[in-house]
Structure 1
Amino acid sequence: MNKQKHLNLQARILIETMLNEHHSFKSIARELGKDCTTISKEIKAHICFEKTGALGRSFNDCRVAFLHQCSLQKFCQHCAYSNNKPCWTCGRCTSSCISYEKYICPKLSKPPYVCNGCQQRTRCSLEKRLYKASYAQKEYEQVRSESRSGFALSEAELKQLDDVVSPLLKKGQSLHHIAVHHADELMKSERTLYTYTNNGLFTARNIDMPRTIRMRPRKNVSSKLKVDKSCRIGRDFQCFENYMAEHPDVSVRQLDSVEGVKGGAVLLTIHFVEQQLQLAFLRRHNDSPSVLDIFDRLYFELRMDIFIELFPVLLADNGSEFSNPSAIELNAQGNSRTRMFYCNPSAPYQKGSCENNHELIRRIIPKGTDLGRYSQEQIDLMMSHINSYSRKKLGNKSPYEVFEFQYGRKILDAFHLQKIPADEIILSPELLK
């Protein structure tokens, strides 16, 4: 038995090669000296999705089109120029066709869960799920890097440090002076205290240190540092599934961030899964305090009972901005106001509803756009248009209408959302110009 704990690139190349040759999990595991469940987990954890067509056929994952039961013609502008060919032949109809229904190959629900080695692969126009050694290795290295980043600091330890450092900083004392005279209490080096202060972990900010604002910031210093490296303990996706199994009637709100330019302003999005309603809040920095400020403001504006009803469970990714769950879960008095869980690393599909809704945001604010140029009022206007857009999943109702029916209009007013008439909805960059 191979005693090496982690798979390396050579092992992953062997897995990919043997999958292409139709080998079973057991034979691959035997070759690597691993358990077959290790191979299964490795493949399912690193599936690469490719939207590619087949020989002579464009990509199209619509069930009706795949079964050749679609007879629509000239449904969109592109099809209007074709010679009376069915819409599904162009491969662009899925974004606008009202009959679109995603179809997933039933073979993918069984081992090996990927299209490697499938004899129909070159003739299939559906979305491909592949295991690629290079892609799997890259994802593995990214997860390993994220797991080793951040601060090995609990909430209680952070509060203890803050109670000592912040009052003295605000009195004009330097961190060197504080570190020297409170060494036994802090048990942290001066350099560590500077790092905590510059990343906004303390109540006092670096602007409270007179000399700091005159110094040029160092280059290549990552600001994506986690407040608590142990934040996922008891809050991982398995815990989320267990909690939802015990509380099946509880609603889930999915959290994510939408970035503009690197290091610039970002959006915090809160997605109501059942209603498909999404909120967006502008943040000047992608850090944990900015997320906490938004939830504290919502808690204050909505009142405790409404907040608890609207946000019973939160599901976020592993971004550093969500790494202070205790502060989000508890109010100022230490009482619970919500529950927070995390998706598995590199698994955005576990909150796919939120990710899909971001496509509408990108129609209005394309990738690479500096979000700092917009105000919160403009963001609210954008979300009003998006939430007024009818969805087939909601019976051709808009998220605004469904949410209003369930929770009332006053809450929508508190979210600064308004109903946009159907013919006046704009989902293009022209909206914010």
Structure 2
Amino acid sequence: MNTGRPKGNQKHLDLSARIIIEQHLNNGDSFRSIAIELSKDPSTISKEIRRHSIIRERSADAFAPIPCANNYDSSKPRTNICNVMHMCGDNECRRKCVLCRKFRCSDVCKFYKPRECEKLNKPPYVCNGCSKRTNCLMDKKIYSSKYAQDSYEALRTTSREGINQTPESIQKLDNLLSPLLKKGQSIAHIYASHADEIACSRRTIYSYIDRGIFQARNIDLRRKVVYKQRKRKTTTSLKDRSFRKDRGYKEFLEYIAANKSVYVVEMDTVEGAKGTSPCFLTMFFRNCSLMLMFLLEEQTQKEVTRIFDHLTELLGIELFQKLFEVILTDNGHEFQDRQSLEYSKNDEVRTRIYYCDPNRSDQKGALEKNHEYIRYVLPKGTSFEKMTDKTTLLLLNHINSEKRDSLNGHSPYEVSRLLLDNRLHKALGLAEIPADEVTLIPALIK
């Protein structure tokens, strides 16, 4: 092991380093001395010179042609050893072609081969610093710092362009991705289900789609949207807030800090088109991202209470108390009769309702963001009048079956099977949709 060998610093050479290399080559210095000054390995210097040197060819009308390789013997460097004659077509000529003054060998001889300098086959591989460089008749190989830097930058740019795939692999990717993307599936969900079949990064997939390489287009990516700017600010209502007494967000934080193992469920409603009554009641389990969704005939306290009573009867009071111990919701009028929500028909305490601060929907942001899955299938402004309990459950199962990065590539359904009592799934008819069949576009309901 050569312990005296200079060690590299693992950084790319820049223009200033290349100028130093050129100066040392012009002075005839060794690779080792250059490497020591630049804190590089000598092999790095050697590779840099061989990769980025340039051949400076002599002009065709130069005074003397490049010597022929067939007229040179290293043991007799000054002797003409070529005996070829009559290459010009004059069969009566008695002179060797190499001694002819009428024609150049390079113009008429079929055996002519330009000679290359033997010194270029060993360090320093270039003509910089050669004492015979001025009068040499052969093509010169030069290391130029400017040319080397330009070549480096061009290679760095072009190496990142184009498609680093074969036509067959691109077609295979297209056949896999495009049908799933057109069903409204996310890239994250597809990767979680087909990671072994996709031989490139997510960023590369987005790039291919943007460049039109796949059948799927940007319009098939649900996040390629522009959000409209709000026209006016939301103002805080001055109505009576007595229903919030001792059940605000501050009290919610205090309760879960004292009861860390409690299930926290976020609750909200999703409205349909303006002027229509049906809406969805949504409930979201924070620990596993599972969402429940129920169709309400209208957005009223009576309808919300109906769903609570239905769940209590379906699950039993004990399981309801276990799953829905704490519910965090907003200040909507449909949630303001806290008494009817917290107590069952038999006056048993079934849950604890807490309310977010006014205009702070971010305090239950997980549920708010999860609503975007509903909007993929039922865009804002769509009426829910044609929705039924059956189609609502179908939509819910597709949403809960999409795999997500936040769950390490698993779906809310899969995680909930581990963290929640499975009697909930059986009672509500929750089921997993096969990964490739998950559809989150309007066609799911139509």
TM-score w.r.t. structure 1 length? 0.51
Letter in 2 for 1:147: L
Q: Report the counterpart of residue 236 of structure 1 in structure 2.
A: 248
For residue 402 of structure 1, the aligned residue among 402, 406, 415 is: 415
What SS does the corresponding residue of 1:267 show, helix, strand or coil? strand
- Conserved 8 A contact 1:252-1:313: yes
* Change in CA separation of 1:337 and 1:366 when aligned onto 2, cut-off 3 Å: same
Deviation at 1:284, TM superposition (A): 1.1
Q: Report the counterpart of residue 265 of structure 2 in structure 1.
A: 253
Counterpart-to-counterpart distance in 2, 1:326 and 1:237: 18
- Conserved 8 A contact 1:76-1:93: no
- Conserved 8 A contact 1:74-1:80: no
Deviation at 1:412, TM superposition (A): 0.6
Deviation at 1:348, TM superposition (A): 0.9
Q: Does 1:415 align with 2:428?
A: yes
Counterpart-to-counterpart distance in 1, 2:305 and 2:207: 44
What are the equivalent positions in structure 2 for 1:309-328 lying under 5 Å apart?
309-328=322-341
Q: Does 1:75 align with 2:211?
A: no
Deviation at 1:372, TM superposition (A): 1.2
Q: Report the counterpart of residue 238 of structure 2 in structure 1.
A: 147
Counterpart-to-counterpart distance in 2, 1:238 and 1:382: 34
What percent identity do the matched residue pairs reach? 34
Counterpart-to-counterpart distance in 2, 1:94 and 1:388: 17
Higher helix share: 1
Deviation at 1:80, TM superposition (A): 2.7
For residue 377 of structure 1, the aligned residue among 369, 379, 390 is: 390
Deviation at 1:71, TM superposition (A): 9.7
Structure of higher RCO (CA pairs closer than 8 Å, 6+ residues apart): 2
What SS does the corresponding residue of 1:306 show, helix, strand or coil? helix
Alpha-carbon deviations, 1:73-94, whole Å to 9, x = none?
A: 3435542349xxxxxxx9x999
Instruction: Please list every run of at least 4 consecutive aligned residues from structure 1 whose deviation after the TM superposition is greater than 2 angstroms.
Output: 70-82, 92-96, 332-335, 406-410
Letter in 2 for 1:386: I
What SS does the corresponding residue of 1:411 show, helix, strand or coil? helix
Q: Report the counterpart of residue 297 of structure 2 in structure 1.
A: 284
Letter in 2 for 1:247: N
Q: Report the counterpart of residue 360 of structure 1 in structure 2.
A: 373
- Conserved 8 A contact 2:401-2:411: yes
Q: Report the counterpart of residue 139 of structure 2 in structure 1.
A: none
Counterpart-to-counterpart distance in 1, 2:271 and 2:338: 21
Deviation at 1:274, TM superposition (A): 1.1
Deviation at 1:407, TM superposition (A): 2.9
Q: Report the counterpart of residue 14 of structure 2 in structure 1.
A: none
Q: Report the counterpart of residue 306 of structure 2 in structure 1.
A: 293
- Conserved 8 A contact 2:402-2:411: yes
Q: Report the counterpart of residue 28 of structure 1 in structure 2.
A: none
- Conserved 8 A contact 1:318-1:342: yes
Counterpart-to-counterpart distance in 2, 1:382 and 1:344: 30
Deviation at 1:147, TM superposition (A): 2.7
Q: Flag structure 1 segments of 5+ consecutive residues without an equivalent.
A: 1-69, 83-89, 97-126, 153-228
Deviation at 1:305, TM superposition (A): 1.1
Alpha-carbon deviations, 1:285-336, whole Å to 9, x = none?
A: 1000100000111001101111111101000011101011111111223221
What are the equivalent positions in structure 2 for 1:111-190 lying under 5 Å apart?
138-139=233-234, 142-143=235-236, 146-148=237-239
- Conserved 8 A contact 2:222-2:376: no
Greater alpha carbon shift after TM alignment, 246-255 vs 374-383: 246-255
- Conserved 8 A contact 1:255-1:270: yes
Q: Report the counterpart of residue 7 of structure 1 in structure 2.
A: none
Letter in 1 for 2:436: D
Alpha-carbon deviations, 1:9-55, whole Å to 9, x = none?
A: xxxxxxxxxxxxxxxxxxxxxxxxxxxxxxxxxxxxxxxxxxxxxxx
* Change in CA separation of 1:94 and 1:296 when aligned onto 2, cut-off 3 Å: closer
Letter in 2 for 1:239: E
Q: Flag structure 2 segments of 5+ consecutive residues without an equivalent.
A: 1-200
For residue 335 of structure 1, the aligned residue among 348, 351, 355 is: 348
* Change in CA separation of 1:345 and 1:333 when aligned onto 2, cut-off 3 Å: same
CA RMSD of aligned residues (A): 2.8
* Change in CA separation of 1:371 and 1:93 when aligned onto 2, cut-off 3 Å: closer
